[in-house]
A = this chain, B = another copy of it.
Amino acid sequence: MESHLHYPTDKPVIDLAAIVAAVNPERLANDLATVAKMGGRSDGGVARLALDDNDTRARLWLIEQASALGAKASVDAIGNVFLDVPGSDPALEPVVTGSHLDSQPAGGKYDGALGVLAGLEALRALKQAGFTPRRPLSLVSWTNEEGARFSPGTSGSAVFCGARSLDETRLVEDSDGVSLGSALDTCLAELDAAGVPRRPLATPMHAFLELHIEQGPILEREGAAVGVVEGIQGVSWFEVTVIGSANHAGTTPRAMRRDALEGACALATALREAARDSEDRVRFTIGKFAVSPGSVNTIPDQVTFTIDLRHPEAATLKALEAEFNELAQQTWAGCKATLTSLSRVEPVAFPATLTALLDDTAHVLGITAPRLVSGAFHDSIHLANHCPTAMLFVPCRDGLSHHPDEHTELDDAVAGTQLLAASLASLTR
0/1 per residue, A238-255, Cβ < 8 Å to B? Answer: 000000000111111111
Q: Does A221 count as interface, using CB distance less than 8 angstroms?
A: yes
* Cβ-based interface call for A135 (8 A): no
Main secondary structure of the interface of A (DSSP, over half): mixed
Q: In the complex the two chains form, is B288's CB within 8 Å of A249's CB?
A: no
* A329 CB within 8 Å of chain B: no
Most buried by B among A286, A287, A376, A399: A287
| Cβ-defined contact, B291 with A215, below 8 A | no
From B215, B250, B283, B285, give the contact of A235 (CB < 8 A). B250
Task: Give the contacts of A251-265 with B (CB-CB under 8 A).
Answer: 251-256, 259, 261-262, 265
Interface string of A318-346 (1 = CB under 8 A from B): 00000000000000000000000010000
Q: Is A218 interfacial (CB 8 A cutoff)?
A: yes
Query: Is B249 in contact with A283, judged by CB distance below 8 angstroms?
Result: yes
Complex Cα distance, B268 from A319, in Å, reads: 29
Q: Is A181 in the interface zone, CB < 8 Å from B?
A: no
| Contact across chains for B288 and A289 when beta carbons are under 8 A apart | no
In angstroms, how far is the closest chain B Cβ from the Cβ of A45? 17
Assuming the contacts A254-B276, A280-B254, A306-B296, asked whether A261 and B249 have C-beta atoms less than 8 A apart, the reply is no
Query: Do B289 and A261 have beta carbons less than 8 Å apart?
Result: yes
Residue of B nearest to A214 (CB): B251
**A37 contacts partner chain B, Cβ-Cβ < 8 Å:** no
**A→B interface (CB under 8 Å):** 214-218, 221, 233, 235, 237, 247-256, 259, 261-262, 265-266, 268-269, 272, 276, 280, 282-291, 294-300, 303, 306, 308, 310, 342, 374-376, 399, 401
The answer to whether B375 and A251 touch across the interface, beta carbons within 8 angstroms, is yes
Given contacts A237-B296, A286-B261, A308-B296, contact A375 B248 (CB under 8 A): yes
With A and B bound together, what is the CA distance between A287 and B252 in angstroms? 13
- Listed by A's residue number, 19 A-B pairs whose Cβ atoms lie within 8 Å are A217-B256, A218-B251, A221-B256, A235-B250, A248-B375, A248-B376, A249-B308, A250-B374, A251-B374, A251-B375, A252-B375, A261-B268, A265-B272, A285-B297, A288-B291, A288-B294, A289-B291, A290-B291, A296-B342
Give the residues in chain B near A308, CB-CB below 8 Å: 249-250, 296-297
Contact between chains at B249 and A285 (CB < 8 Å): yes
Taking CB atoms, residues of chain B closer than 8 Å to A235 are 250
A283 to chain B, nearest CB (A): 6
Residue of B nearest to A277 (CB): B254
Q: Does the CB pair A298–B289 fall under 8 Å?
A: no
Q: Are B294 and A280 in contact (CB under 8 A)?
A: no
**Closest residue of chain B to A297, judged by CB?**
B308
Q: Which residues of B contact A216 (CB under 8 A)?
A: 248, 250-252
Q: In the bound complex, how far is the Cα of B310 from the Cα of A11, in angstroms?
A: 82
If A250-B376, A251-B375, A287-B295 are given as contacts, then 20 extra A-B residue pairs at C-beta distance below 8 Å, sorted by A number, are A216-B252, A221-B256, A233-B250, A249-B287, A249-B308, A250-B283, A250-B310, A252-B375, A252-B399, A254-B280, A259-B285, A285-B297, A285-B299, A287-B291, A287-B296, A288-B294, A288-B295, A288-B296, A296-B308, A297-B308
Known: A299-B285, A306-B296, A308-B297. A252 touches B217 (CB 8 A): yes
Distance in Å from the Cβ of A324 to the closest Cβ of chain B? 15
CA distance A399 to B249 in the complex (A): 12
C-alpha spacing A250/B287, complex, angstroms: 12
Judge whether B285 and A251 touch: CB under 8 Å. Answer: no
